[in-house]
Amino acid sequence: MVFLSFVYRFVTNFAFLAVVYFSLNFMEKYPNRAILAILVLVYAGMRAASTLRAFYFFQKIEKLEAETKRLQAPINDGSGGTNARKQVVADVARLRRDGELKSYMDLFFLALIVLLCVAAIMRQ
């Protein structure tokens, strides 16, 4: 299921990249192409800001993980709940890592889209 989420994120980002590429290349008039490129740049900027905010969120989760592990170490006396707690911490760490990978993937495609838009604005 994790692999499918990565595939889904890649396919949707690639589809957005393809739509931007084809729409910018099929616009013949420069003013229309420039307006479309600027609108796509604004949208990409908003998505990039959201992705960077997600990195801040992941950083806070990582700090919470470290604090939980630090507080959990003296409690591990062999009681029945420790395995469940360890599993929860491991699941959160895995979800955080997967979220970071997806965010990196988003930023990569957004950078490609920004390059396409800048190239479309610069060429005449």
Could you state, in order of their start, the residue ranges of all structural domains in the chain? 2-69+81-122
Residue 11 vs residue 93, higher pLDDT: 11
User: What's residue 84's pLDDT?
Assistant: 74
Number of CB atoms found within 10 A of residue 63's CB: 10
Check whether 3 has a pLDDT greater than 70: yes
| pTM, full prediction | 0.83
User: What's residue 4's pLDDT?
Assistant: 95
Mean pLDDT for the stretch of residues 7-13: 96
Of the pLDDT bands very low, low, confident and very high (cuts 50, 70, 90), residue 102 is very high
Mean pLDDT for the stretch of residues 107-114: 96
Of the pLDDT bands very low, low, confident and very high (cuts 50, 70, 90), residue 99 is very high
- Name the burial class of residue 54, with classes exposed (0-12), middle (13-18) and buried (19+) by CB atoms within 10 angstroms of its CB: middle
Alpha-carbon span 99 to 94, nearest angstrom? 9
Tell me if residue 27 falls in helix, strand or coil: coil
The answer to whether 118 and 45 have CB atoms below 8 angstroms apart is: no
- Read off the tokens for 51: 């992705």
Integer angstrom CA distances of residue 106 from 37, 51, 66, 89, 101 = 18, 7, 26, 26, 9
User: What's residue 24's pLDDT?
Assistant: 92
User: What's residue 66's pLDDT?
Assistant: 84
Check whether 73 has a pLDDT greater than 60: yes
